[in-house]
Each structure stands twice: as C-alpha cells, then as structure tokens.
Chains A and B, each alone.
Chain A
Amino acid sequence: MLLGLLLVAAAIGIWISAQNFSRLPNQSYGSETMPLALSGVALLLGLFMIVRSVIAGAAIPRATLPAWAETPGALVALLVTLALIVGYIVLAGRIGFVPVAIALVLILMLVMQVRWYLALPLAIVATIVVQQAFARLLLVPLPRSGFLSFLW
C-alpha cells in the first residue's frame, strides 16, 4: 500500500515536471514524451498496488522500522559511513587522496569493530596499494597531497 502511494505521488510529480519540457518543432513528441510515458506507467502500477492491497484488506499504511534499527549503534554506524563518503567528496580535493583515504578506511574499520592496531596498518597499506594501482598504473589523476607527492 505504502509503495503504491509513493508511486502515485512520484507519477504526479514527474507529470507536473514534464509540463516544462518542450516538443520537437512541428511534432507531437519531444523531451516530455519519455517522462510522461513513465509517469503514466507509474500511475497505473501505483493504483494497481493500492487496489490490490485494499482488496487483500491491508491496513492503513504506517512506516515500520527494519530489524537492524533496533540494534544499538546501527543507525549511528550507517550515518557515520555516509558522512565518511561525504567527507571524502569535500576534503579529497583540498588535502589530497592519501590522507583522506587512510582516514576513511581507518574510521570505517573502527566502526566495523576492527581493533585499532590492526586497522591502522591495514588502512595505510590498502590506501597506498590503491593509490599506486590507480594513479601510477592506470594514470587516474587522484588528488595529490603536497607532502606525499613523491608517491605519484
């Protein structure tokens, strides 16, 4: 039921946004054709799912938490992981790939409950191996760090 309602809402949203797209000159088709077709299919599917749920006697939809959310710290671990990726996006260009990647792997290993004395060397070795493989062998221009430029 909830998925059906979300689909109907998405279909309406896509349909409204598609009104801003133009057609090809002197044609009935253009940039809006595909979004309109998708909104039509989404609307039909959403309605079908709602009707099927109603016939099956489904209750009024309510959001339920997954089983893992009841584990202490799981949500925090998820948010920390997402924050680490955002941190990489923001910081790698400024202070370079190597220090940011080491920090990312190290913190994520600690989140995953790896002991720090194992996590630290693993994070350093993994980062250097990845940096050498991508930057040296495959010539991917990973962001350089001033004091670690000798690695490139």
Chain B
Amino acid sequence: MSVMIEALGLVFQPYVLIVIVASAAFGMFVGSIPGLTATMATALLVPITFFMDPVPAIAAIVTATGMAIFAGDIPGALLRMPGTPASAAYVEDAYAMTRKGRSQEALGAALVFSAIGGIFGTIVLMTASPVLAEVALKFSSFEYFWLVVLGLSCAIFVSPGAVSKGLIALLIGLFAATVGIDNPAGQPRYTFGNVELLAGVQFIPAMIGLFAVSEVLRAVVNRDTPRPPIPKNRGGGIFRDQWRNLCRYPVQVLRGSAFGTAIGALPGAGADIAAWISYAISKRFSREKEKFGTGHVEGLVEAGASNNAAVSGAWIPALVFGIPGDSITAIVIGVLYIKGINPGPTVFINDPQLIYAVFVVFLLANIIMLPLGWVAIKAAGTVLSVPSKVLMPIILLFCIVGSFAINNTPFGVVLMLIFGVLGFLMDENDIPIAPAILGLVLGPMLEQNFITSMIKADGSFLAFFERPIAAGLGLFTIAIWCIPLIVWAVTRMRRTA
C-alpha cells in the first residue's frame, strides 16, 4: 500500500500533470491528421523525454499514444479516412452514422468505449499481468498463424458485399505484402530493381491512398453531382448517447475489452487483429446483424473498446518480460532503459513505486482522453460544414505530406498515388477496401509464421492442430469458413425438398 501511495505522489505533481495534458493535445493533433501515426508521435517525443524524469517521460509517451490512436477515428468517422488499420474495422459504420447526422454519437462511442477498453486493459495489467504474460509466451508460430488467419477471415466476413469480393481485396493486400526483401529467403520480390521497394510497401502511404486519395478522386469525378449535404447533428450529445449505448450493450463492452486485452498481450498481434475479431464477434452474436455496415453503433462499441484494450494489453509482455509487442512499446522500453529502469520481472522488485506510477499514468491517460476528446470532436465537427469542393484539395495536400513524412522520401507519395488509383478502381467495382489494408499489415506475419511452422512440422499440416490452443484456434477458424457453406447447403436442400 505504501508503494501505491509513493507512486501516486510521483504522478500527482504539477509538472507531471502539465506534461500529461500537453502530450495529450499533441497526440490528438498528430492522430487526427491522416498519415501521421501514434508511432510517429512517440518517436517525436523521445528526444524531449531525455530532459525529463522517468515518470513524466513515460507519461508523455503513453498519453500521446493513447490519444493519437483515438484521434485516428476522427477522420475515419467524418471523412471515411481511418487513421489506423484498427479503426478501418468500423469505419463504414462510423461514416454511415455521420451521413445520417449522427457523427457526434459515432465519435462519442469511439471516445468513451476506447477509454473504457483502455481502463479495463490497465486494470488487467495491474492485477494479472504476470499470469497473462506466461500464457502469451506459450504462443508459438502455430498459434500465431491461426490467429492471423482468424483475423483475416473476420475481415472478409464482416466486409459489406459479397464474400468473394472481400477475398479479392484480401488477396490484393497480401500480394502487396509480398513486395520487398523481408521474406524467408531474403530474396528481393517484385521490386523491379527499385531500392526503396526493398523495404516493402509501407502500409501508411498505402492506407492513405486506398481510403483518402480514392475519396478525393471520387469527389473530383462527381463534382457536378455532389453528395447530399450531411444533416444537422441529431442525438443527445457526445456523452449522453453513450450512457444509453453502455446500458444497451454491456456484454459487448466487456467482451470487446476482454478480447482486446488478451489479443493485445500477445507480442506482435496488437490492436489491428483485436479490432477486426471483436467487430466480427459483435456482428456474429448481434440480434441486428443486418444493420452492421449501415451506421449501427454496436460494432463500433465493441471494436472501439477492443482497440484500446489491446493497446493497454501490449504493455503486459513489455513490462513483465521486456518483450516489445509493437514499435511503440519498443520505443518505450528503450526510454525505460535510458532512465535506468530495466523492464522485466525484477522491475516489480527493484522499482515497484516507479512501475505503479506507470500504471497510474495509464489510468490518467485514459481518463483525460474524455474531456480532451470532447473538445476535439466538437472542433472537428466544423469540418463537415466545409463544402467538399474546398475540403478535398486541402485533404489531398495533407495526404501528400503525410505520405512523405513516413520515410521523408517522395517514394511515399508515389505509393500513395498508386494505391489511390487502386482504391478508386476497387470502389468502382464494389470491392471493399478494408480487408486489403489488413492483408497488407498482417501479410508478413502470416508468411513468417506459416513457413516457420511448416519447417518445424517437416511439412505436416497435422502439426497445426497438435497443440491445444492452436487446435482450438484452427477449428474455430475452419468453422467460420464452413458454417456459412453448411447453412447455405441446408437451406438449398430444404428448398428443393
């Protein structure tokens, strides 16, 4: 108890609180611009944290990260341009709600349930991290392979339109992920002698192209027949609607938070898979399946909670074993080492007050997200009143600069253009875009785990079902593919009989 009081004393100091508020505002600014990521916000903060004590340094990074990830939902909901692959899972519903004059409810849901998911994940981190970390480390390439296949399958089945078109989108994303030298034999694939393609297709310029540039191109060709204006915002406000949603979907919130934390705790899995799986689960068990994708808040509630719970969950292996699950936790582990804190089991013995202070910072970051998010949502709402013909050229400028900023080379803009044209063509042919993004993000993980598993198993597919967790995940994934086929066959047989 005395350790906790000491930790609270470390956090509740004016300097630390000012750092938290300032980095929250910074994270909100970076995250709400298409193309700028939470990783970039973190990387930009690292040099500043050199001049800080450990607690404010970690507070700055954790707060900016959480805020940037939520802020990625703002362009997604208002302009159908998701800031992160995770928010792409529910972008269709969020944008459809905006078109119906419910943008504040959509963004409010993303905000409130992100905060709830984040707080849930932090409580798990504080109470059960050693146990969860042990389980997470039991995951081998077989389990990861099935987890990735499960995430990709969910992306296909929750996408609007035909399954075959979702699968085409996924194949496009997976094919784009094969480009580069990062493959089992280290041989350049589809680089056409281009040195910059050796590093593969960066998913941020690709995502900007597929979602944002394609939207700009669509606005250009339809300039004489613009979409009907977005109706004035209806509903009870950002927070009041959420109380109703919380009372209506308590199971979804809990399920999303729990799944998000569990998947986030797996090193390398992260918020992207968590959001897609949670959205698919939400749709599968919903009483209003037909409303998904048309502006229904239920999937947004569950996947939004899962998204941020996964971000908190990713800290479990990072703090307990010093194993970074993603680029952000990797940067923070580096900062912790610089500050003389060595993440791993001993940190709980040597510096318990510091590690508890970090936990308190996690909670504060999620709580402060609510008022600052409210301000951001109110301010962002003005975007909707700007005519499309003025907004789209400015968005294109942001897209270009955001794509350039990933590696500070014009090649990012070239990728953005190529994927912009591809996204436009996909949209014209009713091929959903979101599965392509997930394919691009998870493609390398799928390939690596598949080939590692095949080598370990000496080519035997049965080995993919020999370990209990792998078998469970594998059977569940196969069931997801087979159940619709069985239902279709039974319905057809009944009709003919």
**Chain A residue at minimal CB-CB distance from B413:** A89
Interface-side segment among B70-78, B259-267, B313-321, B449-457: B449-457
In the bound assembly, the distance between CA atoms of A104 and B410 in angstroms comes to 16
Additional 8 contacts, C-beta under 8 A, given A28-B459, A78-B220, A111-B223? A24-B185, A38-B175, A42-B171, A45-B164, A85-B416, A101-B397, A134-B405, A138-B36
Q: Which residues of A contact B171 (CB under 8 A)?
A: 7, 38, 41-42, 45
CB pair B417 A86 closer than 8 Å? yes
CB of B487, distance to nearest CB on chain A (Å) = 18
**Chain B residue at minimal CB-CB distance from A101:** B397
Q: Which residues of A contact B186 (CB under 8 A)?
A: 31
Query: Contacts A38-B175, A105-B394 given: A113-B413 contact, CB under 8 Å?
Result: no
Query: Contacts A77-B221, A81-B220, A82-B421 given: A34-B183 contact, CB under 8 Å?
Result: yes
CB pair B397 A33 closer than 8 Å? no
CB pair A29 B455 closer than 8 Å? yes
List 11 A–B pairs whose Cβ atoms lie within 8 Å, in order of A's numbering. Answer: A3-B165, A7-B171, A31-B187, A34-B450, A35-B189, A71-B225, A75-B221, A89-B417, A108-B220, A126-B393, A141-B408
Q: Which of A22, A85, A105 sits near B187, CB closer than 8 Å?
A: A22
Interface string of B284-306 (1 = CB under 8 A from A): 00000000000000000000000
CB pair A114 B184 closer than 8 Å? no
In the bound assembly, the distance between CA atoms of A63 and B236 in angstroms comes to 48
In the bound assembly, the distance between CA atoms of A80 and B426 in angstroms comes to 20
In the bound assembly, the distance between CA atoms of A89 and B187 in angstroms comes to 29
CB pair B189 A130 closer than 8 Å? no
Answer yes or no: A9 CB below 8 A from chain B CBs.
no
Which of A37-89 touch B at CB < 8 Å? 37-38, 41-42, 45, 48-49, 66, 68-69, 71, 73-75, 77-78, 81-82, 85-86, 88-89
In the bound assembly, the distance between CA atoms of A130 and B219 in angstroms comes to 22
Q: What residues of chain B have their CB less than 8 Å away from a CB belonging to chain A?
A: 30, 36, 40, 44, 164-165, 167-168, 171, 174-175, 178, 183-187, 189-190, 213, 216-217, 219-225, 388-390, 392-394, 396-398, 400-401, 404-405, 408, 410, 413-414, 416-417, 420-421, 428-429, 443, 446-447, 450-451, 454-455, 459
In the bound assembly, the distance between CA atoms of A73 and B220 in angstroms comes to 10
Q: Which residues of A contact B167 (CB under 8 A)?
A: 41, 45
In the bound assembly, the distance between CA atoms of A24 and B175 in angstroms comes to 20
Q: Which residues of A contact B175 (CB under 8 A)?
A: 14, 35, 38
Q: What residues of chain A have their CB less than 8 Å away from a CB belonging to chain B?
A: 3, 7, 14, 17, 21-24, 27-31, 33-35, 37-38, 41-42, 45, 48-49, 66, 68-69, 71, 73-75, 77-78, 81-82, 85-86, 88-89, 92-93, 101, 104-105, 108-109, 111-114, 118, 122-123, 126-127, 130, 134, 138-142
Q: Which residues of B contact A31 (CB under 8 A)?
A: 183-187, 189
Q: Which residues of B contact A23 (CB under 8 A)?
A: 185
CB pair A34 B397 closer than 8 Å? no
In the bound assembly, the distance between CA atoms of A81 and B454 in angstroms comes to 47
In the bound assembly, the distance between CA atoms of A16 and B324 in angstroms comes to 38
CB of B388, distance to nearest CB on chain A (Å) = 8
In the bound assembly, the distance between CA atoms of A28 and B397 in angstroms comes to 47
Q: Which of B30, B389, B413, B447 sits near A85, CB closer than 8 Å?
A: B413
Q: Which residues of B contact A68 (CB under 8 A)?
A: 221-222, 225
Q: Which residues of B contact A69 (CB under 8 A)?
A: 221
Q: Which residues of B contact A122 (CB under 8 A)?
A: 390, 394
Q: Which residues of A contact B446 (CB under 8 A)?
A: 34
CB of B452, distance to nearest CB on chain A (Å) = 9
CB of B442, distance to nearest CB on chain A (Å) = 12
Q: Which residues of B contact A21 (CB under 8 A)?
A: 185, 187, 189
Query: Contacts A28-B459, A30-B185, A31-B183 given: A112-B219 contact, CB under 8 Å?
Result: yes
CB pair B189 A92 closer than 8 Å? no
